[in-house]
Amino acid sequence: MDVVTLGESMVAFLPSRPGRLADAPSFERSIGGAESNVACTLAAAGHTTRWVSRVGTDGFGDHLLEAIGAYGVDVTAVRRDPDRPTGLYFRTAGDRATDAHEVVYHRAGSAASAMSVGNVGEAVPYSGRVLHLTGITAALSPACRDLVRHLLAPRPGRPLVSFDVNHRPLLWRGRDDARMLLELARGADIVFVGADEARAAWGLHDARAVRDALPEPRTVVVKQGADGAIAYDRSSGGAGTATFVPAPRVDVVAHVGAGDAFAAGFLSATLRGLPLRDRLRHGHLTAAAALTVPGDLAAPPARDHADRLVALDEAAWGRLRLGPGWTTRAAAGDDEEVRTP
C-alpha cells in the first residue's frame, strides 16, 4: 500500500436547505471522516490506500464500507463491532469557522472509539509506505489515545508517519487537548496544522513559533487559509528551510474537507518525490477541488492537469483562479488554465 489511514468515519447528514438544524425539514446522507477522506482522495488520485477502523454491524456501517470501498480504498482491515454503533453526525452547510455553523455528533461509545492497541496493533497500520493519523482519533477515548501514541512511537519497521493536528475542542470537552496534541505531533515525521489551530490550542501566533515547538518532525506544514501555507523541512539539519507557497484564488462553495484534501495532495506529491514547493502546490490544488464542491469529498484534478498547473511560473500561479467544475475542464494550455473561472 502507498498510504494507510486509521480513524473513525461517520455517516453525515446535511440539511436539504440552508439554515439552522432545528429548521431543516430533511437531510441528505453523506460520509465524513478526516482519515477516510484522505484515503478516498488519494485513491482517486491513483494511489493504493487502506483504511483501518471499526464500525457497527448496523446499516450505517454497511454504507460506510460500501461508499469508501467504492473509491478504491481497501476496507478489509475495518472490523465490525456487534455491541457498538457506527458514529453519526449532523452539520449545517455553512463554513465551520463561522458562528452560524452547527455540528452535532452522535459518536460517544461508537465502534471506532473502541479501537485499541490490543485489537489493532501495528502490523496493519504499518503495512504502507505512509501511515496517516489525526488528532481526532486521540480525542475519541483513552484507548484510542494510547493507540495513536503507540503508533507514533519510534520502532523498527515504522513507515513515514504523517499527523494532522485537526484540533476539535468539542470532542476533547475540556481535557488537556493542547498538551496531548503537541506531544503526539512531536512523534510524527510530517505534521499538518492550521495557523488558527496553533493559536487556539498552543497560543502560537506565527509559523516559526510552531516550528520551534515541533523540532522533531522532519516536515512541519502550517496552513494559513486563503493566504497559503508554509513548510519547514529539516532535510539539511537544524530547523530546516522555510518554503511559502500562496494559495490560488478559489471561488468557494463550501470549506468542509479542504484540510483533508490538502493533506492528500501533499502526501501524493511526497510519494512521488517532488520538491517541497511542488508538494505545497499540489496540496493547494487538491484543497481547491474540495472547496469548489458542496460535500466533504471531491475528485482531485487529473495528475497531468495538476502537474501543468504546479509547473506554472510564479506570476502565472499568482493569477490562477479556480471555480466550480475546474477539475473536469480539459485545459488546452497554461493561459487557458490561468483563466479558469
Among all residues, which ones are annotated catalytic? 260
- Angstrom distance (rounded) from CA 55 to CA 60: 8
Report the distance separating Cα 275 and Cα 284, nearest Å: 15
∠ CA 286-221-251, rounded to 5° = 35
Measured CA to CA in angstroms, residue 313 lies from 152, 303, 306, 336 at distances of 38, 18, 14, 14
Side chain identity at 84, as an amino acid letter? R
Backbone angles phi, psi at 244, to 5 degrees: -110, 135
Record the cell numbers describing residue 36, joined without a space: 477516510
Picking from 180, 135, 150, the residue whose alpha carbon sits closest to that of residue 35 is: 135
56, β-bridge pairs = 81
CA distance 84 to 70: 24
Q: How many C-beta atoms surround the C-beta of residue 203 within 10 A? A: 10
Query: How far is the C-alpha of 118 from the C-alpha of 125, rounded, in Å?
Result: 13
The CA distance from 31 to 277, in Å, is 31
